[in-house]
Amino acid sequence: MTTATATGALGQLPVVVIGAGPTGLAAAAHLVDRGLEPLVLEAGERAGAAVRAWGHVRLFSRWGEVTDPAAEKLLAPTGWVKPDVTTYPTGGDWAERYLQPLADALGARVRLGARVTGVSRAGRDRIVDADRENQPFTVHVSYADGREERVLARAVIDASGTWSRPGPAGGDGLPALGERAAADHVSYRVPDLTDPAVRARHAGRRTAVIGSGASAFTALAALADLATSEGGAGTKAVWILRRGISGATFGGGTADQLPARGALGLAAKAAVDQGHADAVTGFRTRAIERDGDRLVLVAEDGRRLDPVDEVVVLTGFRPDLSFLDELRLGLDERLQAPLALAPLIDPNQHSCGTVYPHGVKELTHPEPGVYLVGMKSYGRAPTFLALTGYEQVRSVVAAIAGDHASAERVELVLPETGVCGGSGLFDQPAAADEDRAEESAGGGCCTPAPALIQLGATGPAPSCG
């Protein structure tokens, strides 16, 4: 079925937003604020489904850096109260105290269990030029109950993120030989060791952790904590690094301007220094072989590691572009990010503290009216900025509304370090209100010194990207 006729005025059609995560819901709020009608299509059964998947992670960013002004405006009449802006939410806090209320405020504009399977132009595949720009977008949707629908839209904002496509173990970007066959002992998320079943898979056993970012740090620190806890004796991590260890391997430590990120790096370093994790450098995985009930990792250079019981692959994420195949996108050949944005976010040159705010100018494609925003816009680049995502959708929605002056104006001033959308490991505060985190004693208001953290009180988990 089709929700609108092709003969209807293009401007009367909704703007389809793919994904009911932080950036997608912010886009919807901006559309409502502009008097435009959004239709948010979320594949999960609840708003913020991907965020909920890492709900036990405490963010690097504070509450004051993870809510959007237009969303707050929409929430205000509902009686919503903004959490203390100086505290750090977990993913679960973010979903329950902000994303779910925002989805509720949007009401029927958010459809759950609605997976987008394709986007094109009405009556035009990607080859056809004739009158292309005057045709509405067609968005094909598959619902959890088996129904299919074709929705017509004036514009499409893809905020579906990258969570569904984790990187593989293979050093060449492809699954290692045997990786799929070993799926019962290979995972692609930092294990939640607060889950008894997951804990049992790692306690007293040997786990290979492949990766070098915040998620790998989290896993190493969590496994080290397990090794020193009751029932965890004998737990060992083998840290697989494709490069060598340098002074920057563990991040900025006490000099890191994002204190939570610095603390995480220090915790990972302690795991290695204290013997709970062995680092294997220059190891690019070619194969994962069975050795009875255990696994052996084999490198491109022929090295074979001692058998392990579990493999945790934390090699980043990549965008799912399959359902956008009939659109004319301009994407960087390396990062799979918009061409004008890619040089600004290249991880070889930039961290989350050196990417400046950007908007519609950098997000425009050869296909007018389609925008990749949020983590999806960063392609394979890992250092997404939470506040920058909100600035992206503010600018994009202004452009859709025809307010080009606002669209081209930067309306966000980031702190010098930026705002990373990553995972942090924090002490749970001693106060009764578990959502309030104590400020680091003796640190400045902007860059308190990180300290090693107690991992047992919170469940470490992967970066939110």
Spatial separation of the C-alpha atoms in residues 232 and 211, rounded to whole Å: 23
- Say whether 116 sits in a helix, a strand or coil: strand
How crowded is the C-beta side of 95, counted as CA atoms within 13 Å? Answer: 19
The pLDDT value recorded for residue 58 is 81
The string of pLDDT tens digits covering residues 167-177 is 999 999 999 99
The string of pLDDT tens digits covering residues 270-297 is 999 999 999 999 999 999 999 999 999 9
The pLDDT value recorded for residue 431 is 33
Residue 457 pLDDT class (50, 70, 90 cuts) = very low
Q: For the residues of 254-319, what is the DSSP string, one character each?
A: GG-SSHHHHHHHHHHHHHHHTTSEEEE-S--EEEEEEETTEEEEEETTS-BPPPBSEEEE---B--
Report, as an integer, the average pLDDT of 355-370: 92
Tokens of 21: 């995560």
φ/ψ of 232, rounded to 5, equals: -105, 5
Sign of the alpha-carbon dihedral angle for 372, 373, 375, 377: positive
Tokens of 199: 């804990």
Is the pLDDT higher at 452 or at 29? 29
The pLDDT value recorded for residue 81 is 96
The pLDDT value recorded for residue 392 is 96
The string of pLDDT tens digits covering residues 179-219 is 999 999 999 998 999 999 999 999 999 999 999 888 899 89
Spatial separation of the C-alpha atoms in residues 227 and 246, rounded to whole Å: 26
Contact 170, 188 (CB under 8 A): no
Is the pLDDT higher at 252 or at 401? 401
Lowest mean pLDDT, pick from 18-32, 291-305, 308-322, 443-457? 443-457
Contact 273, 452 (CB under 8 A): no
The pLDDT value recorded for residue 349 is 75
pTM: 0.85
Lowest mean pLDDT, pick from 102-111, 255-264, 303-312? 255-264
The pLDDT value recorded for residue 38 is 98
Residue 55 pLDDT class (50, 70, 90 cuts) = confident
Q: How many angstroms separate the most distant Cα atoms in the chain? A: 69
Query: Kindly report the CA angle at 78 between 374 and 12, in degrees rounded to 5?
Result: 55
